[in-house]
Chains A and B, each alone.
Chain A
Amino acid sequence: MSRVRWGWVAVVAVPTLFIGYFFIYPLLRILSLGLSELSVGSSGLEARLLRVGWFTLWQATVSTILTFLFAAPLTWAVSTYEFRGRRLALAMATVPFVLPTVVVGTAFVALGWSESIGAIFAAHVFFNVAVVVRTVSTLWSRIDPKLVEAARVLGASGGQVFRKVTLPLLRPALAAAASIVFLFTFTSFGVVLILGGFRYATLEVEIYRQAVTLFDLPLAASLAVIQLIGVTAALYWYSRYQERTAVSWTLDSGANRRRPKGPARAGVLVAVLGTLGLLAVPLGVLVSRSFSGDFYAALLSDDRVVGNPISAVGNSLAFALVAMVLATFVGVIAATVITARSGGLSRWFDLTLMLPLGTSAVTIGFGFIIALDWPVDLRGSAWLVPIAHALVAVPFVVRSTVPTLRSVSPETREAAAVLGASPFRVWRHVDLPIVSRAALVGAGFAFVISLGEFGATSFVARPSSATIPTMIFRLLSRPGATSFGMAMAMSVVLAALTAGVILAIDRARFGDLGSF
């Protein structure tokens, strides 16, 4: 039984080679280039790094705080009260989160807010409200009401109960939401590139400018190193915090929401309608302004500079299809490896495959252009676009399939083996049919991610292989009302495509899932 199982080796090799060559190896090239540049210390480098690094840090901190303040009323309403339209309100608050960053950027430009720090903050809040509302309300509605009642009996006022009981109990969810929002805003690229103009640049935007516009690859690499340090520190702090606060208390199994009465009714109404109303403004303005001229017709005609804009839709759909197939193939195989064995290999795999999620898309794209000239020069290939998208999407496929595969008991697989199924046929007849629906959901996510991906694409897409997001950016960068109108029309097309796929995923997910 200790013979080498070559079939298994081949299975493990697929995700290992994919992640190894397209992620780990470029990352090492960035590190070596960036660290040697940092040690040489060219003139003015430190001041520039400090300036960009400091801006990235403080805008992420302020964005996170503002997101919490904006999300608080809606979080309170959906956590503590049961009312008609509650689920719909949650779903609507989630819409901005699934929108591609270029669409959000364009929507705020349509509001007339470009080139200001306020626009960046507003877009970050708009984008991340759902993270706070969903993460915190899940825990909040399950806090045992007896704890609150006990505090009331002991003489605490409503405000004191909230400060002394509810808030401390919510700490794990608050920390989780804060880390996610901080990470997203720290690595924010599309929104800042579009709304920040030349005045405001995060590390991501500066990496892009140095690498793509000014061709200063060593400086870009050293910025990427700083970026990696920041992201790693945030993730490390979060995992340490989670370990320290991992106290269990009796969570109520059901949700403890009550119907709002008296003044609470008015509060809920204001919180829900106010939040959703504000969230609807950017999208509403984007859609209505996109119809204020012949912009959709202009998308169909040839343009001297950007070519035929509508061809980007074809490119995007083709790339999304390839990225989906790639990510699903690699992701399902990786999930099989993670769940087939427990112990070292499985944990190592799990961790490595999640890395692209923590790394920014810009770093992935930048890594491609500095590293993939070996052993053959792939940097001009259009294939890099779907490969980069697949890399970003693989963690999502893994995350959506691993729980299902874990739910298959080892005995079920053993039973198949005893009945004469070879390891491959066990996978084919037991694992694959059980995981197929979850894999379909993962594939849908991969498709959506590819459609909206902008960070990595901006490095690897050629003018001839422009995607919808890069086309929107090119239209936005060009002066003129028609160009801007076309960018808005294109954004609406992208938002509609994204919404369509998300709806399809939602159907697949809440359909009749077998009970295993």
Chain B
Amino acid sequence: MLRVESLDVVIDAKPILENVCLEVEDGEVVAVLGPSGSGKTTLLRAIAGLVELATGDIEWDGASITGIPTHRRGFGLMFQGYALFPHMTVAENVGFGLKMAGHHKAQAQIGEALGWVGLDGFEARSVDSLSGGEQQRVALARTLAPRPRLVMLDEPLGALDRNLRQKLVEYTRQVLEERQVTAIVVTHDRDEAVAMSDRLALMREGTIVSTGRLEEILAEPADPWVSEFLG
């Protein structure tokens, strides 16, 4: 279980996150929803250990992980632009996390992970020969392959066109559900957030203003902005 406790992040003397509190239960998918510039990406980067905390604490199963460097956290993060390694094949990308964990002959696991996202047989392809949707799925497979204890997806469908997004929303949700992963999905799109998650965390100007299921939040909106944003 992930617990984010009164988190403050300051970058270049500007407060980006202020007093953020968030809990994610095992096997739960939480969508962090908010307009662009509200600090959603920074929250994921803080949980991954990619930005320094000003104050606050991050705990996993009750133990603080704040001092643990990124590569020892055992989390997965799918970047907004995917950040696929341009000099590696699809298989090398997907197998990277496994290799870092010491599994050097991981062909079977790589094939399995590609199967989850419907890209069987893509192993030898080069990354720049892929379409946008294929890149998204390779990035998802790469994130899931080492079986991280927490999966974070940053605008997983952000760069794709509308038709593809609708298809991949279902798909991503299904993949997450089948693997029973604990996950945080960041998005600025209400429908996407609802479709992919069990619970929403609404974010505005660096802080989480409301959490719960869509109906719960709309039943008792924290302020007029919340009901307006959720339409």
Contacts and interface: CB of A to CB of B under 8 A. Distances in A.
B83 interface: yes
A411 B146 contact: no
Contacts, number: 72
B100 A420 contact: yes
Nearest to A417: B70
B75 A418 contact: yes
A514 B49 CA distance: 31
Contacts of B75: 418
B96 A514 contact: no
Contacts of B48: 414, 418
A433 B79 contact: no
B83 A409 contact: yes
A414 B79 CA distance: 9
B86 A419 contact: no
B7 interface: no
Contact of A414 (B69, B83, B86): B83
A420 B146 CA distance: 9
Nearest to B73: A418
Interface stretch (A232-240, A422-430, A486-494): A422-430
A430 B99 CA distance: 13
B47 to A, nearest CB: 10
A411 B146 CA distance: 19
Interface residues of A, number: 23
User: Considering residues B72, B76, B77, B86, which has the most beta carbons from chain A within 10 angstroms of its beta carbon?
Assistant: B86
B71 A421 contact: yes
A2 B52 contact: yes
A433 B86 CA distance: 10
B130 interface: no
Contact of B101 (A417, A420, A515, A516): A420
B87 A434 contact: yes
A468 B8 CA distance: 64
Contacts of B146: 419-420
A115 B101 CA distance: 69
B77 A434 contact: no
B100 A419 contact: yes
A324 B48 CA distance: 40
Given A418-B76, A420-B71, A411 B83 contact: yes
B87 A411 contact: no
User: Considering residues B45, B71, B74, B97, which has the most beta carbons from chain A within 10 angstroms of its beta carbon?
Assistant: B71
Contacts of A2: 52
A173 interface: no
Given A420-B71, A420-B100, A415 B85 contact: yes
B170 to A, nearest CB: 25
A278 interface: no
A2 B50 CA distance: 13
Nearest to B96: A419
B212 interface: no
Given A409-B83, A414-B50, A415-B83, A421 B77 contact: no
Nearest to A429: B96
5 contacts: A416-B96, A418-B75, A418-B76, A421-B100, A434-B86
Interface of A: 1-2, 409, 411-412, 414-423, 425, 429-430, 433-434, 514-516
Nearest 6 interchain pairs by C-beta? A420-B100, A419-B97, A411-B83, A516-B86, A415-B83, A417-B70
Given A1-B49, A420-B74, 13 more contacts: A2-B52, A411-B79, A414-B48, A414-B70, A416-B100, A418-B73, A418-B76, A419-B76, A419-B97, A421-B96, A430-B85, A514-B87, A514-B128
